[in-house]
Amino acid sequence: TPWSGLKDKKAGAELPLEPAFFAGELERYHQLSSEEKEEMSVAAHNFAQQSFQPEKYQTQYKALFNMEELDNE
């Protein structure tokens, strides 16, 4: 996934798909100060701006969703 390294960049967290992990992370986030939440928000925005490159993934997304044939019509 392109969304790795979030915690190191103070932009969020990568969690297993298990409810206990989500609850723990939500509790941790709830305990942050307003300044810490703002810092995380800015870091998440910057991370997304740097990571999101639709042209890089366009071919992969089309293959994933079987959309190549739409380009040929």
Note the pLDDT of residue 44.
92
Tens digits of per-residue pLDDT, 20-55?
A: 899 999 999 999 999 999 999 999 999 888 877 777
Q: Using alpha carbons only, how large is the chain's radius of gyration in Å?
A: 17
pLDDT exceeds cutoff 60 at 71: no
